[in-house]
A and B are shown apart, each in its own frame.
Chain A
């Protein structure tokens, strides 16, 4: 009795490791990297960051001093030379003139007037690089827009731009919606900002500034923030049957899979009809008789 012949398993060829093989799974455009910080410009956050950095610096200095004291006492006990006293590090001189301008305290009359008029509905006012920003409560947006448009000493006639940003790392809000107002008569610009959580439906600005119509549709298309009382809240850039909102941070660059468009087939049967017609003119019968 002979040994049964066990067939050898075929060797699995390795994936070619050439320079021109494109690894689709590891492509950076197919990865989604969620941000861990909330880069929302804010004077209050900036002050808190500066304070935290100063406290960390002070704590480090305290620790260096305490370490020196213990090392000194130990050296004295052992009868050795005393260690070198620590030197507090001086911040490095920064000669770079391409600095990011930090947020500053609001001194502009418009911002102060808005804060006076709206009171506690204004969450924050600050200036940055000469630009005025006023963050207001999300419910008081219409009131603020009407004030900015109608008051003689504000008189921002134009809504130049409206946009939104997704901040998935923030805890108490998800999006910031920003209104860029321009006063042509006073040659000033003002930025109104509201922070909205996921699923919140802000009031549309169309009744105050008609130019908000398409910009709000774009925000809806790209980020999925629906606006209440908008005349036509539909997609403006993507097709109507699009899935997802492309400017959210959890949306990959290539989308949720490249969609297949099957237009190539002869849907209306036009090509076949023409072929039969042309063949008939040439005296060829392309229609085969059926077997039965």
Chain B
């Protein structure tokens, strides 16, 4: 005796924070844009196909429009001609939105230290996760995506707009 038995009410009820539920729902249903730039896109397709099955993490629904997507995987070399297009697509995505820079080209220009390549996509849009590799294997992409899930789970609304809160006052 002396041990408190949970009541029937407590057995059917889970208490949590609204923010945690929101983050959980966001992290487990991240829909990427159908958007590939170069050879990294092939690895991205492999990650989405049955062998690696990106859909286990809720990210297998590649949307054909940025307006229905949460995640943009920059898979490939970003040229100066493509940069305004990427920026437009990013602007068209609804908040909250995340970006993964996949491969060495998207993270730092890769081997193309040249006149036509942007040395890292973070010069035009904010990037959440950088994945090294040339190209990264699907396992790397999945690991990077799990890192993004961790980031989403630990994020809060105040963190996301922290810079602007401080700037505005």
Point out residues on A near B: beta carbons under 8 Å. Answer: 29, 237-239, 242, 246, 251-256, 258-261, 263-264, 268, 270-272, 274-276, 278-279, 282, 286-288
Which residue in chain B gives the minimum CB-CB distance to A268? B91
**Contact call B164/A239, Cβ cutoff below 8 A:** no
- The reply to whether A264 and B123 contact each other, CB–CB distance below 8 Å, is yes
8 Å CB contacts to A: which residues of B95-145?
A: 95, 113-116, 118-119, 123-126
Inter-chain CB contacts under 8 Å: number = 66
Is chain A's interface secondary structure helix, strand, loop, or mixed overall?
Answer: loop
Whether the pair B113, A29 counts as a contact (CB closer than 8 A) is yes
Interface SS of chain B: loop
- Note all chain B residues with C-beta closer than 8 A to A239: 80-81
**Is B161 located at the chain interface by the 8 A CB criterion?**
yes
* Given A238-B81, A261-B83, A253 contacting B168 (CB threshold 8 A): no
B168 with A287: CB separation less than 8 A = yes
Complex CA–CA separation, A259 to B157 (angstroms): 35
- Known interface pairs A263-B124, A279-B165, A286-B165; A255-B114 also in contact (CB < 8 Å): yes
Neighbouring A residues of B83 by C-beta, 8 Å: 261, 263
Asked whether B147 is an interface residue with its Cβ less than 8 Å from the other chain, the reply is: no
The answer on a CB contact under 8 Å between A246 and B95 is no
Minimum distance in angstroms from B120 CB to a CB of chain A: 11
Residues of chain B at the chain A interface (Cβ within 8 Å): 80-81, 83-84, 87, 91, 95, 113-116, 118-119, 123-126, 157, 161, 164-165, 168-169
User: A235's closest neighbor in chain B, by CB?
Assistant: B81
Cα distance A106–B67 when bound, in Å? Answer: 63
Residues from chain A with Cβ under 8 Å of B125 in the complex: 263-264
In this complex, which of A251, A253, A258 has the most chain B Cβ atoms within 10 angstroms of its Cβ? A258
Q: Are A254 and B113 in contact (CB under 8 A)?
A: yes
Neighbouring A residues of B81 by C-beta, 8 Å: 237-239
CB distance from B97 to the nearest CB of A (A): 11
B124 touches A264 (CB 8 A): yes
Is there contact, CB below 8 Å, between A253 and B115? yes
Chain A residues in 8 Å Cβ range of B169:
286, 288
Return chain A residues, CB-CB under 8 Å to B119: 258
Question: Contact between B118 and A261 (Cβ–Cβ < 8 Å)?
Answer: yes
Most buried by A among B83, B164, B165: B164
Shortest C-beta distance, A221 to chain B (Å), equals: 11
Q: What would 5 more interface pairs be, CB under 8 Å, given A239-B81, A259-B80?
A: A253-B113, A254-B114, A255-B114, A261-B123, A264-B124
Least CB distance, B37 to chain A, in whole angstroms: 15
A259 to B84, CA, bound (A): 14
